[in-house]
């Protein structure tokens, strides 16, 4: 059946640009929340990228065009806040303060309002630019990515923005569930440091600095990408049972325990690389999957989407990847992205 979504009735205002904030509120809209973008006269900057780009972050929302720098715009903001459950702001700290987008500024208009400030470094850290790749560089993510003897690298998508968007949506819902209004802060820096959990713990507790391993896992061996006769294979051996099944299929002897494989990493990697060279990545996936061994051939995004047609939806004439949340008994309804000011005049 098609349901209204578990967040039906939740009213969320969004003030922000590009990715992290709009992604957070789109996830809420996918779950049934009414999300209203409060856009400046020029609109969300992502409108300038492409229609498909904007749609990928803003489907199913409403748009009201408001000049928050003008007194009339502030009056309109306060009207909107009175009927809202939450406000998510994705601007630099000085703009958040200047436009009165904090809980302290808006509490007189709605004491139960939940205000989420999604920034790069935190509200007290100033306006230092905090774009996704800059944050990945600053938090150690880039230093961990790439080949051991090569330069640091970045993943091919906006991992900091997307991760921060998820965290902001979770923080917003947590405060709403509490039944109290208040201020929630989420920064890209804190989110990425949090996601380096076990790497950070190793350094903070044992003084073990993380190393760049070419994408290999720091603890599990073998757990990385391997070349094959055709294509690359991701192999992720996390315990001895997986190793026994893999080693028997690949014709490798020894290295029976996780501790031994970690201690003899280079030998293990060499042995696995040699064995995998005897067949293609697709063939290895077909051989190992029935054995329960975590392995997968590297696919391009077009190939991955072709194999996951249920993940692709249509919204306003755009084909997009749908919500990652699958809820029993509910088929999400995806609305189109809003035209600038479609649901309210410029003030």
Q: Give the residue numbers marked as catalytic.
A: 161
Query: Would you call the peptide bond into 194 cis, given omega within 30 degrees of 0 as the criterion?
Result: no
d(CA 127, CA 30): 31
320: three-class secondary structure by DSSP:
strand
Burial profile 113-149: b = 16 or more Cβ within 10 angstroms, e = fewer: bbbbbbbbbbbeeeeeebebebbbebbbbbbbbbeee
Bridge partner list, 65:
39
Residue among 185, 93, 189 nearest 132 (CA): 189
Q: Is 228 left (phi over 0), alpha (psi -120 to 50) or beta?
A: beta
> Does residue 139 contact residue 196 with C-beta atoms inside 8 Å?
yes
Q: How far apart are alpha carbons 322 and 313 in whole angstroms?
A: 5
**How far, in Å, CA of 10 to CA of 32, rounded?**
8
Phi, then psi, of 12 in degrees rounded to 5: -120, 135
């Amino acid at each position: 059946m098609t349901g209204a979504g578990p967040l039906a009735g939740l009213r969320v205002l969004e003030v922000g640009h590009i990715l992290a904030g709009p992604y957070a509120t789109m996830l809420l809209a996918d779950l049934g929340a009414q999300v209203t973008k409060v856009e400046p006269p020029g609109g969300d900057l992502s409108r300038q990228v492409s229609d498909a780009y904007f749609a990928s972050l803003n489907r199913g929302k409403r748009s009201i065009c408001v000049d928050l720098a003008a007194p009339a715009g502030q009056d309109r903001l306060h009207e909107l806040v009175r009927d809202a459950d939450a406000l998510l702001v994705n601007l630099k700290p000085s703009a958040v303060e200047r436009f009165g987008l904090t809980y302290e500024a808006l509490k007189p208009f709605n004491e139960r309002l939940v205000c989420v400030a999604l920034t790069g470094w935190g509200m007290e850290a100033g306006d230092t630019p905090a774009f996704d790749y800059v944050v990945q560089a600053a938090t150690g993510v880039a230093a961990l990515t790439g080949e051991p003897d090569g330069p640091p690298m970045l993943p091919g998508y906006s991992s900091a923005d997307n991760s921060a968007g998820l965290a902001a949506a979770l923080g917003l819902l947590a405060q709403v569930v509490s039944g109290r209004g208040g201020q929630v802060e989420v920064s890209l820096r804190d989110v990425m440091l949090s996601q380096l959990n076990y790497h950070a713990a190793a350094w903070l507790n044992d003084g073990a600095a993380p190393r760049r391993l070419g994408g290999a896992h720091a603890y599990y061996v073998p757990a990385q990408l391997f070349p094959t006769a055709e294509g690359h294979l991701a192999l992720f051996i996390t315990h001895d049972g997986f190793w026994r099944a893999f080693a028997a299929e690949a014709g490798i002897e020894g290295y029976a325990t996780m501790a031994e494989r970690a201690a003899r990493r280079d030998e293990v990697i060499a042995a696995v690389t040699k064995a995998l060279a005897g067949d293609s990545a697709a063939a290895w996936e077909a051989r190992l999957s029935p054995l329960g061994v975590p392995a997968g051939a590297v696919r391009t995004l077009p190939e991955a989407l072709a194999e996951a047609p249920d993940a692709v939806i249509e919204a306003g004439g755009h084909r997009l990847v749908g919500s990652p949340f699958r809820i029993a008994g509910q088929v999400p309804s995806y609305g189109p992205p809003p035209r600038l000011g479609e649901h309210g005049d410029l003030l």
